[in-house]
Structure 1
């Protein structure tokens, strides 16, 4: 059985599969002015979902409002204006059966408010509203039991984030089984009649090793937690249960719907939560209607084009003449095979007929000031130019040259002093040797004299 067929079988067998889930229903908007109507749901603690919302867009300054006390018919003093589904703050556009999501201000929940309305600021008229009960239990994630089983399968309590998302904190598995998969199905315990679900990377390959890793799993297709009864780690090849948790229907009755179930892309909802400015409601006042079936909630504002920080132009850097110690020398290659026989210059403009210059293989060439090439004698290329032809130095360069000359003079003076000391030391050593020889010979003369006397 293919995964799609298994999902279809689970959906057909589920009692809740025939009713679409949008969260906790607050009620229908009162139909007072300008064709306002629709059903309002609480998605979570700070998100409202308007199903099949209608408004003709003819009001001059209509906005979404929530209030903490009183009723919208008595005015909106102290109430809070909400941004639209695109994050815009302008007057509302025309809606024709759109399904949209709205977010409450940061730090506020549905328990802080008592009504939601479409209200015209300019004429202080309530176009339609719905009450928010003070004791309402808005949808929220639910915790179930932790995973425990063989092959090192363990985790912290599994969290049902929404109707299609499971969070498995600190999940561990030794990775030794040949065909372990994440598995869901009907009933309290896993069986071969269940279906595999993709891992946290969206793959259905056998599970690798996990070591206390927190992962997020998404149920495939239209499958929800209301259609299944357990979540497990299952060896599909040998039909062995490595560990599972039950998903009791009563504990999951009030979890939030998923974004996919609402027809909302994560990007558009995040932009609304961030309060990013989208296209204003004035664009809808011209009578353009949104598409039905949740298309209004999935529309994202076009980003504004950004101006570049600085203009970037293609350029070629050439150092000024005063920074160049001499003209660059181009050495010819020894073998024609190492280099093409022709060389193209691009540092200055020349006519096309003169852009190709022949390279001499036995000489060196040097750029002249006018951009042409001339042969250079290798023995003379390092000789400095005459003093009258040297460029004038800047004050900083002149000061640096003077300091350099002073250091060189000081070095020469120290060198001469060192040589004089060495000569003086050598002279003292010679005198010491002469003195030692004199002492030695003075001691040897009496002995020689006595020997000569005896021989006589």
Structure 2
């Protein structure tokens, strides 16, 4: 008897392929930070055009967080999460010269679960600039891919493709601890979510 399988994926919404514009970065003129239009491409990807940053912040990373953080302030202690840069690296940000970049949020996270993306210096509690992610932005992702045995109807495999190119989470606590050790400053544990 020959077994036959069907590869099946179902889309539940017409919002697939929809993008949400976030505008240009809101900034205070520090470290030559600027950007063109940023766009939320999906709940996992955010594109920034013409991103410029001089790379001179002593401990700056991309960071996401919630509304309660006060992210619209320049000097603020944000309680967000460091996310990888466009290369999937958790290294301190270097210089960008009007580059078009696409950030992919780590596995198990979605940009739409957060209120902002910031370029934030943990060393000086300095928010160099931010993009607001509105609550009403919502994407519907495809259902997991199912491998179905057409003879028995049994589902033999499930796979969620939306996580395929997602980087690993940054180990925020160790990044901050290592940076403070390198600078000879006391380590202060950040509350991690």
**What corresponds to 1:100 in structure 2?**
9
| Structure 1, unaligned runs of 5 or more | 1-57, 59-92, 103-131, 265-283, 297-456
**What corresponds to 1:172 in structure 2?**
52
Structure having greater relative contact order (Cα 8 Å, sep ≥ 6): 2
2 CA distance for matches of 1:263 and 1:211?
A: 38
SS in 2 for 1:204: coil
Contact 1:152-1:173 within 8 A present in 2 as well: yes
Contact 2:143-2:160 within 8 A present in 1 as well: no
**What corresponds to 1:53 in structure 2?**
none
Question: Which of 215, 219, 226 is the matching residue for 2:101?
Answer: 215
| Cα pair distance change 1:262/1:233, threshold 3 Å | farther
Question: Which of 83, 108, 114 is the matching residue for 1:197?
Answer: 83
TM-score normalised over the length of structure 1: 0.29
Question: Which of 15, 22, 35 is the matching residue for 1:138?
Answer: 15
TM-score normalised over the length of structure 2: 0.65
State the Cα distance separating 1:223 from its structure 2 match. Answer: 1.1
| Cα pair distance change 1:94/1:137, threshold 3 Å | closer
State the Cα distance separating 1:293 from its structure 2 match. Answer: 3.0
| Cα pair distance change 1:148/1:290, threshold 3 Å | same
| Cα pair distance change 1:240/1:146, threshold 3 Å | same
2 CA distance for matches of 1:295 and 1:246?
A: 28
**What corresponds to 2:158 in structure 1?**
293
Contact 1:170-1:211 within 8 A present in 2 as well: yes
State the Cα distance separating 1:147 from its structure 2 match. Answer: 0.9
**What corresponds to 1:232 in structure 2?**
118
Query: Counting helix residues as a fraction of each chain, which structure ranks higher?
Result: 1
| Cα pair distance change 1:153/1:256, threshold 3 Å | farther
SS in 1 for 2:67: coil
User: Rg larger in 1 or in 2?
Assistant: 1
State the Cα distance separating 1:137 from its structure 2 match. Answer: 5.1
Query: Counting strand residues as a fraction of each chain, which structure ranks higher?
Result: 2
Taking only aligned residues, the RMSD between alpha carbons, in angstroms, comes to 3.2
* Farther-moved stretch of structure 1 (184-193 vs 234-243): 184-193
**What corresponds to 2:36 in structure 1?**
156
Contact 1:94-1:288 within 8 A present in 2 as well: no
| Structure 2, unaligned runs of 5 or more | 72-76, 162-193
